[in-house]
Amino acid sequence: MVQRSLILLKPDALERGIVGEIITRFERVGAKMVGMKLLVSEKDTAGKHYTDDLAKRRGEKVRELMIAMLTSGPIVAIAFEGIDMVEVARKMVGGTEPKTAAPGTIRGDYAHISFKHADEHGIGVFNLIHASGNAEEAVSEVAVWFKPEELVDYEPAFTKFTIRSK
């Protein structure tokens, strides 16, 4: 099933200068970029992204720390499209806690912070990247960061081998 997934490259990814490397990983698996923008998130937009559902699961303090982290510098918002893109992106990104993320994943290869460290320092987890957790979340998250007219539909040459319409 062809899906879209939101990928956010967080301020620490930009500060580290690894945006191109991360995007290249998605291009190498055949993900089709349909939207991209560089911005500094407003607090209300970050709040729409980190919904009340996060507060219910992890607590309001964690939600506020994540909003502060996301608004602490520039980010790159990207909408990727591909077959089972949500699942593929989550696999590529790796576990939320970089310390325990598998080698070969983006977080496993480029980050190492632990939840414990973040908690001890009263900061959000700087883990480089966000990827939508499921298909429904992806639809709502893409809508937070992109207007419909900002998403581009095109047919890259490689899709004639991988994505066939009936």
Q: Could you give the percent of the chain with pLDDT greater than 70? A: 92
**Annotated catalytic residue: which of 112, 117, 121, 130?**
130
Predicted confidence (pLDDT) per residue in 65-85, tens digit: 989 999 999 999 999 999 999
State the architecture of 2-146 in CATH terms: 2-Layer Sandwich (3.30)
* 164: pLDDT strictly greater than 50: yes
Please state, in angstroms and as integers, the Cα–Cα distance from residue 128 to each residue in 95, 117, 153, following that order: 12, 16, 27
* 27: pLDDT strictly greater than 90: yes
pLDDT of residue 63: 87
pLDDT of residue 156: 81
Active site residue 112: no
